Structure 1
Amino acid sequence: MKAKFTGHDTFPLRYGWLFKAVNHLNSNGKFSSSDEDSIRQSIVELGVGKNMVKAIQYWAEASNVIHSERSNNSFTHAVSQNGEYLFGGESLEDGRDPYLELPGSIWLVHFWLNFNVEHLTAYRYFFNFANVQHFEKTKLIADCFEDAKKLVDSELGNISTIKKDIDCFLNTYSKKLKATPSKKSINIDEDHFISPLSELNLIQDNGGGFYISNLSERPELPIEIFTYALLEFFKTETVDSKVSTVDFDSLLSKPCSPGRIFRLSESGLGQKLDEVQNFTDKNISWVDSLGLRQVNVSDYAKTNSTLYLNQYYGTKND
């Protein structure tokens, strides 16, 4: 993995940013860090400052809705298949949910953002490698710094860089609390209620630098999104196309697994797999007997993760 603890200029992901990025490229706009004309054009078209343009580009790349391509010894950006799927191609009508109005779309963006073993960030460290449910921010910063030394094979930078990335990650995923004037109660600070990912309630700010992120059953996670994530993970686990099983424990705790990314408890994963059996007409099934816990994936399911996802959006085309 390569370290990537910078790029967002400490701006958390905001509502509308991913759509802005995709729409900008679909309208023949460009993202560039060196071409002054392109930068000025992006500032005008996106209606934000230079640093925020960089942040929009960062989050769109991180969630894999846009990607960079090498062309004529330089890099250009294009809308990815994920970006076209959710936010649309040349027409917004092509996008399943360009304004993230459905809760499942936010779960999907969360999965795309963390389903990555190429670059290590604070949020990918937390969702894929950290083993905490109650934590203090200062301890998480120290743990991330020490573990990153073992996980990455590039220049890590100093701990202050990781601290800024942890701050941005927590502001992206949790609703900021503030004390009322009476100091007898704590309310949500609406100024920080700006990130769609905070809606998932995966991390709660407990005040005083302490946070909670319990493993749970996640009944609010749509089964279509979970099924898609399971199949995408299955592809990475089984290089041999003849393999049709994946271990329950791998689904629960391996980096980039749905259990990890969605913060599922052991019983929660079992319940989701029970739902998946019914949802897929047993094209995905599992056994839990005599110490054997294994998930079976049919040949049909292996190649149709997007078709299952389409059922959430009520579409049949892939």
Structure 2
Amino acid sequence: MILRRCGARGTVETVKRDVEVFLRSYAPRHGDLGEDAAEPLLAELALIRESRLSGQFEFVRGPKPSLQNGVFALVLKRFWERWHPNAPTLSAEQASYGAGSPGQVFKLDEDSVMARLAKIGEATSGAIVWTDTAGLRQVSLARQLSTIDEVALITNSYPYRRVA
């Protein structure tokens, strides 16, 4: 209905262009584009790539070396608060595959999620801890989620140097 009112052809073309601009802000550029061609800012996240054969865009699942553990911990905390606020534990599967989970948000494979969960205690100053006992892989709360300083998760992930 909205498309008919606004003129379907123009609107469809506009949406197609907008989506392509959005996707290209995440996809690395191919080939030698010269000195003036800047790499898209969000390409470093390695979330989307353009297929060389078809030219279509696809998600990149797997490890994300540029993803800081504090950023992962922040997304895990917010996922926990939103979807499992009263649960004292979260399974590795929930953290990997749940809607809005860090595994889904960052398109991490299961092994990458497990590696990050194994380090979650360091990132959260012990507020969230990883356990892998008798095949039960999960994270549990040592303190309430509300005690985790979200700003500290980020600032500790990106140390800066003061300029004298």
Normalised to the residue count of structure 1, the TM-score between the two structures is 0.40
Q: Equivalents in 2 of 1:171, 1:196: separation in Å?
A: 10
Q: 1:189 to 1:249 in 2, by over 3 A?
A: farther
Q: 1:299 to 1:212 in 2, by over 3 A?
A: same
Q: Which of 70, 73, 76 lines up with 1:224 in the alignment?
A: 70
Deviation, structure 1 residue 250: 1.9
Range that drifts further, 297-306 or 213-222:
297-306
Deviation, structure 1 residue 209: 1.2
- 2:27 equivalent in structure 1: 174
Identity of aligned residues (%): 26
Normalised to the residue count of structure 2, the TM-score between the two structures is 0.71
Are the counterparts in 1 of residues 46 and 64 from structure 2 also a CA contact under 8 Å? no
Are the counterparts in 2 of residues 175 and 192 from structure 1 also a CA contact under 8 Å? no
1:206-252 deviations in Å (ceiling 9; x for gaps): 33413453321223211111111211111112343xx3222222211
Alignment of 1:1-318 (within 5 A): 163-177=16-30, 186-188=31-33, 193=38, 195-207=40-52, 208-240=54-86, 243-306=87-150, 307-314=152-159
Q: Quick one: which amino acid aligns to residue 65 of structure 2?
A: P
Q: Equivalents in 2 of 1:191, 1:206: separation in Å?
A: 24
Runs of 5+ consecutive residues of structure 2 not aligned to the other structure:
1-10
1:230-277 deviations in Å (ceiling 9; x for gaps): 11111112343xx32222222112222111111111000000011212
Q: 1:209 to 1:231 in 2, by over 3 A?
A: same
SS at match of 1:220: coil
Q: Equivalents in 1 of 2:135, 2:18: separation in Å?
A: 41
Are the counterparts in 2 of residues 277 and 285 from structure 1 also a CA contact under 8 Å? yes
Residues matched between the structures, number: 148
Q: Quick one: which amino acid aligns to residue 262 of structure 1?
A: F
Q: Equivalents in 1 of 2:146, 2:35: separation in Å?
A: 43
Q: 1:236 to 1:201 in 2, by over 3 A?
A: same
Quote the RMSD (CA, aligned, Å).
2.9
Q: Equivalents in 1 of 2:35, 2:27: separation in Å?
A: 12
SS at match of 2:50: strand
Deviation, structure 1 residue 199: 2.4
Q: Equivalents in 1 of 2:137, 2:12: separation in Å?
A: 40
Runs of 5+ consecutive residues of structure 1 not aligned to the other structure:
1-157, 178-185
Q: Equivalents in 1 of 2:101, 2:37: separation in Å?
A: 29
Q: Equivalents in 2 of 1:162, 1:189: separation in Å?
A: 29
